[in-house]
Amino acid sequence: MNIVSWNVRGLGRSAKRFLVKDLLSLHLADVCCLQESKLEVISSAMWREIGGSRLNQLFYCPARGSAGGIVIGWNDTILKGDLVKVGEFSLTVDFCSSYDHTRWRCTSVYGPTVRSQKLDFWTELRTCVADPSVPWLICGDFNSIFAVGDKSSGTPNLEDIRQAGNFMNEFGLHEPCSSGKHFTWTNGQATLLWVKLDRFLVNSDFAECFPRLTQNSLPRLGSDHVLIRLGVGHHALPRRQFRFELVWFTADGFHDLVHRWWTEIIPEGCRAFILSKKLAHLRSQLRYWAKFCFGSVKLKKLALLHDLEALDVVSESRGLTDSEAVQQRDMFVRLEEIRKQEETYWKQRSRLQWLNDGDENTKFFHAIANGRRNRNFIPRILTNGALLTEPKDIGKAFVDQFKNLFGHKRTF
């Protein structure tokens, strides 16, 4: 299960809602906690533009004018949600797993920036959980630092650190191990300031229910805050099988790269050994190149859409300069190239060969690929009267079954 928290800095523009929807889909969010929606009302139609078909339920705390606003959305096929409290600075929802009926509480926060309201903020959070044994997760933009190292420069506010420390000690909270960027917000000015304002906090009961907790900061897109994701209950998966992507052919100089990688090693041995060594070397080089050079088609598209949105905002307040107009035209050209790459990507996964390249069928290819994945997916099995839902247990049940069928020696 993936829980995503993000200060989106407004959801009023349709382009911004599209960006948020794509990012939530890209990172497979099962629960999303969004701060600063800047919306007083969120209709069902508007939420579909944000959560899509995956995150189909929500509760929200309305913004006050054009400031604030908190949203918690979730996938109701795996979780059932009940509203607990709508506060001035927080929104609390109780979740129950549809599979094993595990119950836990989620509080999304948007802390005040006004110094005189800080004490009210911490007081409100203390009322969000009556029973300290309830598995509790808190996430969002606290607008407070928790340690001296949470601010890159300037004088840290020691009172913020003291109040945060008292709150964490009182409820036995801790922050899961984090990877990626340490700071989550920047002022974006000439004199850069980096601060960690966004985080996940969990109590010991939540950590016992979900022992595998991985927190990481994701690329900053469409906001001055980074998106943070908490992976909950993930099991180790086998190494991903290598797949040669047809979309790689669209990269400039790809054929030359493959030729260089193929010829740069000269192993000795029989022909079969030489071929296997060359293929292994080529596969290793392609993996590295695809990850660090070619990159994700989806992320490139999102970054380009974010840049186009920024120019669109500028054009509303003033006309674009000649250089900005040229930049905008170049972006549209690159966006068309990326859309063709995206179509090739999903066509390969759909395994359909009867449609011509160049047709605008990306959504169709995506649907075919997802349908095939759904058919191949085994969410649970019933064996010996027990319902198994963990992938490891399901795999072991199949192994044991076939061992019983084929694992005994015949006696002649």
Query: Who wins on pLDDT, 340 or 200?
Result: 200
CA distance 91 to 60: 7
What is the model's pLDDT at position 238?
A: 54
What is the model's pLDDT at position 348?
A: 76
Residue with tokens 């307040």: 317
Q: Is 76 left (phi over 0), alpha (psi -120 to 50) or beta?
A: alpha
Q: What is the mean pLDDT of residues 377-387?
A: 79
What is the model's pLDDT at position 234?
A: 44
Q: What is the DSSP letter of 149?
A: G
What is the model's pLDDT at position 308?
A: 83
CATH superfamily ID and name for 2-232: Endonuclease/exonuclease/phosphatase (3.60.10.10)
Task: Flag whether pLDDT at 172 surpasses 70.
Answer: yes
Strands (E), 256-412: 381-383, 386-388
- Span 106-125, pLDDT tens digits: 999 999 988 889 999 999 99
CA distance 248 to 184: 33
CA distance 224 to 168: 26
CB atoms within 10 A of CB 132: 12
For the ranges 173-182, 237-246, 322-331, the lowest mean pLDDT is seen at: 237-246
Task: Flag whether pLDDT at 397 surpasses 70.
Answer: yes
How far CA 184 is from CA of 83, 107, 157, in Å, comes to 28, 19, 17
How deeply is 106 buried, as exposed, middle or buried, from its count of CB atoms within 10 A (0-12, 13-18, 19+)? buried
CA distance 51 to 29: 9
What is the model's pLDDT at position 351?
A: 61
What is the model's pLDDT at position 129?
A: 83
Helix and strand numbers (H, E) in the chain are: 11, 17
CA distance 278 to 261: 9
Locate the domains of the chain by residue range: 2-232, 246-294, 297-376, 379-412
Q: What is the mean pLDDT of residues 372-398?
A: 77
DSSP string of 54-120?
TS-EEEEE--BTTB--EEEEE-TTTEEEEEEEE-SSEEEEEEEETTT--EEEEEEEE--SSGGGHHH
CB atoms within 10 A of CB 317: 6
Q: What is the mean pLDDT of residues 229-238?
A: 66
Residue with tokens 């909950």: 232
Q: Give yes or no for a contact between 6 and 218, defined as CB atoms under 8 angstroms apart.
A: no
Q: Give yes or no for a contact between 71 and 7, defined as CB atoms under 8 angstroms apart.
A: no
Q: How confident is the model at residue 5 (pLDDT cuts 50, 70, 90)?
A: very high
CA distance 179 to 208: 21
Q: Give yes or no for a contact between 215 and 226, defined as CB atoms under 8 angstroms apart.
A: no
What is the model's pLDDT at position 35?
A: 92
Task: Flag whether pLDDT at 213 surpasses 50.
Answer: yes
DSSP string of 362-391?
HHHHHHHHHHHHHHH----EEETTEEE-SH
CA distance 261 to 266: 11
How far CA 128 is from CA of 6, 104, 357, in Å, comes to 20, 13, 54
Query: Who wins on pLDDT, 317 or 364?
Result: 317
How high does pLDDT run on average in the chain?
A: 84
For the ranges 81-90, 96-105, 389-398, the lowest mean pLDDT is seen at: 389-398
Query: Who wins on pLDDT, 346 or 127?
Result: 127
List Cβ neighbours of 82 (8 Å cut-off, separation of 6 or more). Answer: 93, 94, 96
- Span 133-156, pLDDT tens digits: 889 999 999 999 999 988 888 888
Residue with tokens 């260089």: 260
Q: Give yes or no for a contact between 351 and 246, defined as CB atoms under 8 angstroms apart.
A: no
Q: How confident is the model at residue 235 (pLDDT cuts 50, 70, 90)?
A: very low
- Span 279-336, pLDDT tens digits: 999 999 998 888 888 877 777 888 888 888 888 888 888 888 888 888 888 888 888 8
What is the model's pLDDT at position 370?
A: 55
Q: Give yes or no for a contact between 159 and 122, defined as CB atoms under 8 angstroms apart.
A: no
3-class state of residue 206 by DSSP = helix
CA distance 387 to 101: 14
